[in-house]
Chains A and B, each alone.
Chain A
Amino acid sequence: MDNILDFNAAVSRRQFFRRNGTGLGAAALASLLPSAASGLSNRKVPEHLQKLAPKAKRVIYLSMLGAPSQLDTFDHKPKLQERFAEDLTAYLEDQGQRLTGMTSGQAKKPLAPSIFKFKQHGQSGAWLSDLLPHTAKMADDLAIVKSMYTEAINHEPANQLCYTGSQQNGKPSIGSWLSYGLGSTNEDLPSFVVLHAQHTGQGGVQAISSRLWGPGFLEGRHAGVALRSKGDPVLYLKDAPGIDRKIRRQMLDGLNALNQKSYDAVGSPETQTRMQQFEMAFRMQASVPELTDLSQETEKTYEMYGPQAKTPGSFASSCLLARRMMERGVQFVQIFHRGWDQHGNLPTHIKDQCKDIDQPAWALIQDLKQRGMLDDTLVIWGGEFGRTVYCQGGLTRENYGRDHHPRCFTMWMAGGGIKGGQTYGETDDFSFNITKNPVHIRDLHATMLHQLGLDHKHLTFQYQGLDQKLTGVQPAKVIKDLII
């Protein structure tokens, strides 16, 4: 402990683990310190975690908030056409599924077949509706999971389960767990970034809370950094008006010199860390604008992402930005796209929503592929639950709405060691129950961690006396069929 560096590392390490009462957590030595501060290698995965060879190095999670209807996109139920308006009240009572307060009082639950046309696509013959023509083109890259399920039936708890692994408040988000478990690979950018994409659909817009990208009981620096499309991309990033780079540099040089004196006098390692953080801030003032400046992208790229690609804050622009972050070593990007909660006028609203995301999502996969990055970049698409086969509100041949449905819904994954060109899991005729290969949200989490080289059972943090995990206390499994 004579060496001041060791001392600094020890103190800072303590600080980072200070929620931890009785010793270090099982994981995450890697994230002890930003490399600049510790002089340690910045990606030092703890020994017992190194057993798994990572297939993916980074993740883009396309979160469709509000829950897209599986019945109108991926889960093709041709037989339902003949049963238009059949009352499912009795069937539902048999199922014992709890219904939300929005339709539990509805006298009839008439069956609403999708009005959208389905076709098979690619060599795998995956079924997709004509709402997603671009997604259809890449069917052979996708693992479409039709058998996702959850327990939550309302948005708040369901989103929390999806993005923090628990319906309860206070748990760390996926990206925070990854930041904790994998550390950072870029000194100039945060490792977990969140984007809020604008949406066109005007049906059901759900609230969203920073808890979905919050650090929970993990240390605050693991929180997702929300990049904004208006104003500063990172809050307070830009120097105040009238302060240019040169003046800022002069000011920081003086600041550093003064802080150094203070360190010499008192010897607190915190002072050194602070000096490094101010320097990192200075570097971010260059790296973040460089990241978010899309002007160097080619017209061809813009074309690929579609007509919205040049509109800041659009889903297309967000996808493009996500690709740039992947190139620069950001590990986890989450794009939130709201507006999928279509309790009424679903056909109109879902068209708008699909149009927002279809081409950009396809372009993102192509773009990653062209740059040789799809193999180690995992892309996930989906919402927090599914929607009901029966209609909420008035049903006509052309118009219907759908309530929340937790027992089955569809998500897709691509890249990052995922076995594409397959549709996994099956549901019954009403897209009500899963009939084959159920995948819980926590299984998705376990599979995702596995691809990143992390064992969900070992990625733990001791809090409130428990080894807390993203996948929670109930057993989770890696879905082997989904991975190469």
Chain B
Amino acid sequence: MKCWITLLLTQQAFAAIPETVDFNNHVQPILSEYCYQCHGPDSSTRAPTSAPLRLDREEFAFEVRDGRPVIIKGVPEKSELIKRITTKDEDDIMPPPDGHKPPLNPEQIALLSKWIEQGAPYEEHWSFLKPTRPVVPKKKWGYNTIDAFISEKHEEFNLKPNEPEEPHRLIRRISFDLTGLPPTPEQVKNFQEAGSMDLGTAVQLATSELLGTDAYAENFSRHWLDAARYADTHGIHIDNYRSIWPYRDWVIQSFRKNQSFKDFTIEQISGDLLPNPSLDQIVATGFNRCLPTTGEGGAIDEEYLAIYAKDQVETTSAIWLGLTTGCAACHDHKFDPISQKDFYALTAFFRNSTMPAMDRNKADHPPTTFVPLQEDRKAWDALKGPIEAKKNEISARRKAAHPDHDTWLASLNPTDVKSLAEHPDLALPLDVVNEKLNLGTREIDFNKPTVTSDTGAAPQLHDINLELGDLASFDAQDQVTFGGYLRLGEKSRGSIISRMNTGNDFRGWDLWLEGSRIGSHIIDAWPTKAIKAMTKKELPLNKWLHIMVTYDGKSEAKKSLTVYLDGTSIPIDYSHTGNVNSTISTAPLRLGGRHPDSPLSGNTAFHDFQFYQRVLTATEVEQVAKKSDITHLLSLAVEERLPKQREAIYSYFLSQIDPVSKQLKTAESELLNNQSTIRKKGSLTLVMEEKNEAAFAHILDRGEYSLKKEKVDAAIPELFQGDAASAPQSRKELAEWLVSEENPLTARVTVNRIWYYFFGRGLVETTENFGIMGARPTHPELLDWLAVEFMESGWDLQHIIKLITASASYQQSGKVTSNHREKDPTNLYLARHPRHRLEAEQIRDLALSASALLSHKIGGPSVKPYQPGGVWEAVAMNQSDTRYYKQGSGDDLYRRSLYTFWKRTAPNPAMEILNAPSREVFCVRRDRTNTPLQAFVTLNDPQFVEAARNLAILALGASDSFDHRLDFITQLLLSRSLENDEREIVKTTLRNVSGEYKAAPEKAAELIAVGESPTPDSLDPQALASWTILASQILNLDETLTK
């Protein structure tokens, strides 16, 4: 063995072994990669089963086994660990050949040997130790503390940092990083001027200015919404619309006011549990409602509640703790000291919610709260008091109005009672007296059977068909109300009353009976140009019913009819909703059938037909129905009136006669109208609500919802539990712990994520994983320094952002030198600024902003910009309310991309192709690929073609000179003017494509017709088409798409 190690010493690999071997940096990565699978935190797979060996914790690693520990401090050659990784014996070698790990390489073996030689010291995993402010190295380069740490590494790796970036590129970078938008040419000019005197101050000023914009809030909200997996649909199965955009707007407002990350956290995790929470604090809890949910028929509640809790724990862990706790759902974590029990104790915090497992495919999956628009908030709150007061006044008046009521009642005479009836445009009593049917102004003979009604004898419509005259005619665009009292003897089919020309495609209208459902036809030509709707439910037989139908010819066909039963509208089904141009018919109004040959049968009785040349409101119909009621009630002798009937008369008095009550009611309904106007503009939003019990969960064996084991209380992982008494037990305490200084992770994880937004890679590359298998920080001291700085600043994000933009590390040029290429090809140590493609939303927003199409509206419901047809249908279920994509128009096409409607099962394809995540799970690190499909988007998506056309329109309008026009475009897209050799290239393109468009003017016309925005007629189509190509060329430049 000794000789073997000596052999190793001679090998070159050994030369790379550091003087002092560090457990965290050198040893643990090897142990976790090769050993922890069987000798790590997971108790269930620890080997050998007879005497499990655990190497991840010091207290177990040195346990005596077979007379001595596997690691003998200072003596590698006697340590079983080294023997096992170097032996040639197939039975003994570690890792075992039947796993898929290759044997350790000589360098790794040498590292472990040296570590044991140096006494095998263990250390807690770096990120589990609380960060302390490290000693700042002496600054050798740059402007601030960040640079001191960064330049230390430059020295270590012999790297030469770059000069400051050219001012126009620098302001473009700052603008995109902060606001997600390009700087305006004016901003560039100002920055260049200020920068020529003092670049540092210019950066500081620009940073402060941009941090105070809505655009900054929107850009950082978009980062956060990736993490929060925000979307506008439920995500699983039918994937219907979900009402949660007020949460998105809350995030924007929070960044806008630079809320401390501490409060930002506490409100999102537990706003509902704060004392007297404000509406905003409740809306914030939408964070935990952004998870995908299901309403799939047959899905099992328990199963999904387990899935949801896992999602919530994984999301919270990744965003705040940088831990992959989800691994512990089925077994103890393989690498990090997170046990299965720890995981389920975490789920308990989230399982104590009143949210039902099934979202029932409804937008308002409870619990929810109503959120008025920001501008309506005051008015909304101000309405609550007066409405309450008005209700009190009304009920007080109800108690006090008895004397007035009695006086009124005593003063009533029979004529007054009659006059209480509404005045329709046509009223046909249709009662039968002495074999005469009363038509109000005249009578016709009627010697058929009758049915007793409240007001006398009503005609029975059995085998009769009576022409009533040229009455109750209306046209398709009119608004009318008609109806009367109806009594069904048995199920039947036919017109009760109609005005319809059966010889002319049934043109006209009727009140129609089908079985015991009632409805109406409005017909131009049956069946294509016709509207028909019937009540959903069957009406009772042998009972007098008050039926009213309103027809609104000004509304769309499928909403034109309303049917009222006893004064209340009831649901109807439309079977026909054709286009009706005219209903004017020469046929007379007819009782009991449309035509002499199609009489109605079945002992149907009908009387008191009323016809109004307007659409009565629901209240009016109710009054009509009730007023007829009141005439009946008042006709009863006082002593015959039942208490209920007396009450009805009193209610009638209050609502119709009593001026005091009427005035109060009018005032109330005005207030209620105002409230409902605000309600229509605002939205419900999904929020959290706690059950009234202590939070608990069961450990689920292998993560199976059906295999419940031990019950556990809500708790943070044991690893982090200090003093047991102060350990969090509720969601609120969890939130407070997340952002407490007791927690070693949140500050590090958060500043790391901010660093990633600016440099494209975190100081810890795995922004979601700070655990043992996560990446090590490239600059551990800088990370800790920033974390402490962040906490001490009061968790102020903008403080960290300002430090970053003020650093030379951030401000240096992105130029790649041979020194960089040689010493640090992947730019881990930042001797140049990392150059990255813009993110999906930034690219689209850049195109919109530069072409002046961008809408600056903030918040509100998500919008549907251009999207190729068929993307949703291809995946959606028939019954999904997001099956068809209904593209918006006007402003909706030009809103910032964070407002684009996000359907989880089919996100906007342009965004998805440019690496926007699907939002099905949290995302704290986006992909950044470079594919031909992305080229298609920026070349051909109508959004980008239209932007190019609008840029061309502006450029053509700005000047007649080629150079000025080109400058106009490049200033907007690149923040600079092109060099002469570049101009020549563009000029060649222009010459070529102009020739093409001159030869084929129809092509020019086609190109400039792309997109909804208008093109001024004054522009020459060929010039515009050619310049559209040029603008598209500049828009597609690598430099344009990159920051």
Contact = CB atoms under 8 A, between A and B. Distances in A.
A199 B1005 CA distance: 39
B1025 A464 contact: no
Contact of A156 (B296, B336, B907, B935): B296
A77 interface: no
Contacts of A234: 933, 936
Interface of A: 1-2, 4, 7, 10-11, 14-15, 18-19, 21-22, 26, 48, 98, 100-102, 153-156, 168-170, 196, 205-211, 214, 219-221, 225-226, 228, 230-232, 234-244, 246-248, 250-251, 253-255, 257-259, 261-263, 265-268, 270-271, 273-275, 277-278, 280-281, 284, 403-404, 457-458, 460, 462, 464-467, 473
Nearest to B837: A270
B299 A242 contact: no
Contacts of B937: 235-236
Given A254-B989, A465-B335, A274 B932 contact: no
Given A275-B1038, A278-B1036, A250 B298 contact: no
B815 A267 contact: yes
B835 A465 contact: no
Nearest to A206: B877
A236 B870 contact: no
A460 B766 CA distance: 18
B870 A230 contact: yes
A207 B298 contact: no
A278 B327 contact: no
A239 B939 contact: yes
A465 B334 contact: yes
A231 B945 contact: no
A250 B989 contact: yes
A281 B936 contact: yes
Interface in B782-806: none
A12 B1042 CA distance: 16
Contacts of A246: 996
14 contacts: A21-B773, A156-B294, A170-B920, A205-B877, A207-B239, A230-B869, A235-B868, A236-B936, A239-B940, A241-B1006, A263-B1038, A271-B1042, A281-B939, A464-B324
Given A270-B930, A464-B327, A259 B939 contact: no
Given A154-B298, A207-B239, A221-B929, A240 B1010 contact: yes
A238 B816 CA distance: 36
Q: Which of A234, A236, A261, A266 has the most CB of B within 10 A?
A: A236
Contacts of B769: 21, 464-465
B490 interface: no
A231 B868 contact: yes
Given A240-B942, A266-B816, A270-B837, 10 more contacts: A170-B921, A208-B874, A228-B870, A231-B868, A241-B1006, A242-B1009, A250-B989, A267-B816, A464-B326, A465-B771
Contact of B814 (A98, A239, A250, A268): A268
Nearest to A3: B821
Contact of B297 (A101, A170, A261): A101
Contacts of B32: 465
A236 B324 contact: no
Interface string B312-349: 00000000000010110010001110000000000000
Interface of B: 29, 32-33, 100, 102, 236-239, 292, 294, 296-300, 307, 324, 326-327, 330, 334-336, 706, 761, 765-766, 768-769, 771-775, 814-818, 821-822, 825-826, 835-837, 868-871, 874-878, 880, 904-907, 909-910, 912-913, 915, 918, 920-921, 925, 927-937, 939-942, 945, 979, 981-982, 985-986, 988-989, 992-993, 996-997, 1000, 1003-1010, 1025, 1029, 1032-1033, 1036-1039, 1041-1042
A102 B297 CA distance: 7
A467 B99 CA distance: 12
B1025 A242 contact: yes
A250 B822 CA distance: 37
Contacts of B1010: 240-242
B239 A241 contact: no
Contacts of B33: 22
- Considering the complex of A and B, which 7 residue pairs feature the smallest CB-CB distances, nearest first? A465-B773, A242-B1007, A100-B298, A242-B1006, A254-B989, A21-B775, A209-B905
A172 to B, nearest CB: 12
A258 B1033 contact: yes
B100 A460 contact: yes
Nearest to B771: A465
Contacts of A466: 327, 334, 773
Contacts of A14: 826
Contacts of A11: 825-826
A180 B245 CA distance: 37
Contacts of B335: 465
Nearest to A12: B930
B298 A268 contact: no
B925 A262 contact: no
A462 B769 CA distance: 12
Contact of A457 (B100, B292, B297, B870): B100
Nearest to A274: B1038
Contacts of A460: 100
A244 B296 contact: no
B127 to A, nearest CB: 13
Given A258-B1037, A277-B934, A268 B816 contact: yes
B334 A7 contact: no
A232 B927 CA distance: 25
Contacts of B988: 254
Contacts of B934: 277
Nearest to B906: A210
B940 A219 contact: no
A205 B927 CA distance: 33
Q: Which of B238, B937, B985, B1000 has the most CB of A within 10 A?
A: B985
